[in-house]
Structure 1
Amino acid sequence: MELWQKEGSYFSVERQAGPTCMLITLIPSHSSSVLNSLWSFRAQDASSSDSLCNYHGFLSFRGKDTRKTFTDHLYIALNHRGFRIFRDDDEIEKGENIKFELQKAIQESKMLIVVFSKNYASSSRCLDELVMILKRRRTTGHVVLPVFYHVDPSHVRKQIKSFKKAFTRHEERFHTERAGKKDEPKGKIHEWRSAL
């Protein structure tokens, strides 16, 4: 097991028996508790649905919040331990259809890691990714690992504080951009809220 310290947070990544099993422990220095969260999961054994998986994991995150801090360090730690992780800024070439490439990467990943941060819900792209991730989970039973980075899980679940503000902005934007199409924005926002 290795202990990593980056940007004031400590976390360890340990590879356990087999190529698709790991233990991630996050110990933020700002917390009074020694251990904020413990995630342990075992990805499914290779099966016909997994044979097309090119990645051990897919990282969904709000770039402005965590790209150069927690998510970057988690990505490096996982790669260092031998896990092939999809991260959009490394894997998608300029000019490619981003939505298609993200959907393909989600389908080709055994595990789906969602890093919820303060501004996660302000990104329609992050919310669209989350909807795709949960569809994958429902259809194949894949592991979804939520990580709450400087966000209380209840804020995500209840959509309060920064999440409430983000949805208010989305609703205003949809109302302005699509004045004649009342059902489409409501359907999209409902889908995002349900995913959270």
Structure 2
Amino acid sequence: MECFMTLLHMCFRLFKFSSPSSGADDNGTDNPPLRGKYDVFISFRGEDTRFKITTSHLHAALLQRKIETYIDCNLQRGEKIGPALLEAIEKSTLSVIIFSQNYVSSTWCLEELVHILKCKQNSGKIVIPIFYDINPSDVQRQCGSYARAFAQLEKRFNDSIDKVQKWRDDLTTAASLSGLIIQKNQGN
């Protein structure tokens, strides 16, 4: 729960007076909105974290504090998933990547990760990794469940192994960023 509160505090401090939803500060002065449509984009593997404290509670707490947050349930029916997610990443100021046991078993998650890091490099977007019930070094070195998932990805994408290598490289980069660690039963 302490890590969760740390993340909320970080986001709240960052967006307190400049959220697109905030309008005016305590003195009644209007503040310009941030660059993006969303303050925070949350990348996560739904089967691991959607209804856990790491995703649903984080999303609700940020919205309660008027921090505009995007998670994939914001997609409009009939909208293509890929382009909508990529656009949401680009229009967000900060991205939170929730690494979990099955994160890399989703090519959608991996494509989000690649785009998040591309936006960080090109536009200076802020990226905060959360390691939910997984050791950061396991993500960085692709051990355990990540090693098993990559073995499957290498078979599946045998004719485009450069794509798999890009995912590996970006995982190493993202896991090297300063982040937060949350154990599965912590705060539940």
Q: Deviations over 1:17-73 (max 9, x none)?
A: 73359xxxxxxxxxxxxxxxxxxxxxxx969xx53x111100000000000112111
State the 1:137 CA deviation.
0.3
* Unaligned segments of structure 2, at least 5 residues: 20-30, 172-188
Which residue in 2 is equivalent to 1:97? 80
Equivalent residue for 1:194, pick from 169, 173, 176: 169
Q: Which has the higher strand share?
A: 1
Structure with the bigger RCO (C-alpha within 8 Å, sep 6+) is: 2
Which residue in 2 is equivalent to 1:162? 145
Which residue in 1 is equivalent to 2:62? 78
The residue type paired with residue 149 of structure 1 is Y
Q: Deviations over 1:151-181 (max 9, x none)?
A: 1100010011011111011112223xxxxxx
Which residue in 2 is equivalent to 1:34? none
8 Å contact kept, 2:39–2:68: yes
Q: Distance in 2 between matches of 1:114 and 1:169?
A: 22
8 Å contact kept, 1:55–1:109: yes
State the 1:81 CA deviation.
1.5
The residue type paired with residue 16 of structure 1 is R
State the 1:97 CA deviation.
1.5
For these two proteins, the number of residue pairs brought into alignment is 154
* Unaligned segments of structure 1, at least 5 residues: 22-44, 176-181
Structure 2 counterpart SS, 1:74: helix
State the 1:187 CA deviation.
1.4
Does 1:60 pair with 2:43? yes
Does 1:11 pair with 2:1? no
Structure 2 counterpart SS, 1:11: helix
State the 1:10 CA deviation.
7.5
Q: Distance in 1 between matches of 2:129 and 2:32?
A: 23
8 Å contact kept, 1:117–1:148: yes
Which residue in 2 is equivalent to 1:42? none
Which residue in 1 is equivalent to 2:72? 88
Q: Deviations over 1:94-136 (max 9, x none)?
A: 2211111011101110001100001101101000000000000
Which residue in 1 is equivalent to 2:176? none
Provide runs of 4+ in structure 1 moved above 6 Å.
none
- Identity percentage of aligned residues: 37
Does 1:109 pair with 2:99? no
TM-score by length of 2: 0.75
Equivalent residue runs for 1:118-129 within 5 Å: 118-129=101-112
8 Å contact kept, 1:116–1:146: yes
RMSD: 2.2
The residue type paired with residue 19 of structure 1 is F
